[in-house]
Chains A and B, each alone.
Chain A
Amino acid sequence: DTAVSQTPKYLVTQMGNDKSIKCEQNLGHDTMYWYKQDSKKFLKIMFSYNNKELIINETVPNRFSPKSPDKAHLNLHINSLELGDSAVYFCASSQSSDTQYFGPGTRLTVL
């Protein structure tokens, strides 16, 4: 059984478009995260939700908007995509501040 899943796995789109990435976890965790991995493999946290409440909001352009409809889901919507948004986006989940488990990643390419 997949613990943390993301869709889509690959996303290719044009500049200026709006796109969403979805994340679901079946671990019963109460906290979920979005990370961005750039072309140099550097990983940086973007957002975190605990029980559907935003608890971490790093310096991310407000074109990025996370949404957590319930504890098991955390989606990432990106408006007006830019070339610099090209990256791999990872979702993760944890039980409170315990170990984080990562999804397989979504590779976003903006043309």
Chain B
Amino acid sequence: AQSVTQPDIHITVSEGASLELRCNYSYGATPYLFWYVQSPGQGLQLLLKYFSGDTLVQGIKGFEAEFKRSQSSFNLRKPSVHWSDAAEYFCAVAPDSWGKLQFGAGTQVVVTP
């Protein structure tokens, strides 16, 4: 069955430290891959996406993600987090069809001083 897994439900990180959020997918072929962020009480904002090409993708707010076909992973990273990065992060995948996004369960990121 097709699935998207975010193994970490909750991550706490110190301000200024690095952050890595994991995402694994199970699809027959390489799907389109996305990371969205949801700040408290807000909608979802696209951080970055991967369709094809360079496997290291740069996004907004200093985030990047790396697609690894062999591991079926699309992990999100940021070298130095800011307090404003505290939010819920969702990995999402879509097969090569009419954009039926399937979301992971989300990872809540808490940033401590």
Instruction: Using CB atoms and an 8 Å cutoff, list the residues of chain A in contact with chain B.
Output: 4, 31, 33, 35, 40-45, 48, 50, 55-56, 90, 92, 94, 96-105
Contacts and interface: CB of A to CB of B under 8 A. Distances in A.
Interface residues of B, number: 24
A6 to B, nearest CB: 8
Nearest to B106: A41
B58 to A, nearest CB: 15
B56 interface: no
Q: Which of B38, B92, B102, B105: most chain A CB closer than 10 A?
A: B38
Interface of B: 32, 34, 36, 38, 42-46, 49, 88, 90, 92, 94, 96-103, 105-106
B101 A45 contact: yes
A14 to B, nearest CB: 24
B46 A99 contact: yes
Contacts of B106: 41-43
Contact of B97 (A41, A90, A92, A97): A97
Scoring B92, B99, B101, B103 by chain A CB atoms within 10 A of each residue's CB, the highest score goes to B99
Contacts of B32: 97
A97 B96 contact: yes
Contacts of A50: 98
B99 A96 contact: yes
A35 to B, nearest CB: 8
B104 to A, nearest CB: 9
Contacts of B99: 31, 33, 48, 94, 96-98, 100
Contacts of A31: 98-99
